[in-house]
Amino acid sequence: MSSHDHVPVLLEETMAYLSPRENGLYIDATLGYAGHARRILEMTSPAGRLLGVDADRLAFDSARASLQAFAGRVSLVCSYFDRLDEIAREWGFVPVDGILFDLGVSSPQLDDPGRGFSFQASGPLDMRMGPDAGHTAADIVAGASEEELARIFHELGEERYSRRIARQIVAARARSPVTTTNELARVVAAAMPRHPAAGARVARQQIHPATRVFQALRIAVNDELGRLREALPRALSILRSQGRLVVITFHSLEDRIVKRFMQAEARGCICPPDIPRCACGREPRLRILTKKPLTPSIEEVKANPRSRSAKLRAAEAI
Q: Which of 64, 68, 65 is nearest to 77 (CA)?
A: 64
Is residue 54 a contact point for ligand SAM (CB under 6 A)? Answer: yes
Angle of the 11-18 helix axis to the 35-43 helix axis, nearest 10: 40
CB of 41 to ligand SAM, least distance (A): 12
Residue 40 or 144: the one with the smaller Cβ distance to ligand SAM is 40
The Cα 199–Cα 226 span in angstroms is: 32
Residue 104 or 209: the one with the smaller Cβ distance to ligand SAM is 104
Is residue 215 a contact point for ligand SAM (CB under 6 A)? Answer: no
Q: Which of 231, 255, 104, 123 is nearest to 185 (CA)?
A: 123
CB of 226 to ligand SAM, least distance (A): 9
Site map for ligand SAM, 29-48, x if CB under 6 A?
A: -x-xxxxx------------
Residue 100 or 172: the one with the smaller Cβ distance to ligand SAM is 100
Q: Could you tell me which residues are beta bridge partners of residue 288?
A: 315
Candidates 40, 77, 129, 239; binder of ligand SAM (CB under 6 A) is 129
The Cα 31–Cα 76 span in angstroms is: 9
Length of the chain (residues):
318
Residue 1 or 200: the one with the smaller Cβ distance to ligand SAM is 1
Candidates 98, 104, 116, 296; binder of ligand SAM (CB under 6 A) is 104
Residue 234 or 259: the one with the smaller Cβ distance to ligand SAM is 234
* DSSP structure string for 20-56: --TT-EEEETT-TTSHHHHHHHHHTTTT-EEEEEES-
CB of 166 to ligand SAM, least distance (A): 26
Helix, strand, coil percent values for the chain (each to nearest 5): 50, 15, 35
Question: In whole angstroms, what separates CA 289 from the centre of its chain?
Answer: 20
Is residue 70 a contact point for ligand SAM (CB under 6 A)? Answer: no
Is residue 106 a contact point for ligand SAM (CB under 6 A)? Answer: yes
CB of 263 to ligand SAM, least distance (A): 22
Residue 184 or 248: the one with the smaller Cβ distance to ligand SAM is 248
Cβ neighbours of residue 107 under 8 Å, at least 6 residues apart? Answer: 5, 6, 7, 306
Is residue 19 a contact point for ligand SAM (CB under 6 A)? Answer: no
Q: State the number of binding residues for ligand SAM (CB under 6 A).
A: 22
Strand (E) or helix (H) holding 88: helix 84-90
Q: Which residues bind ligand SAM (CB under 6 A)?
A: 6, 8, 30, 32-36, 53-56, 59, 80-81, 102-106, 129, 227
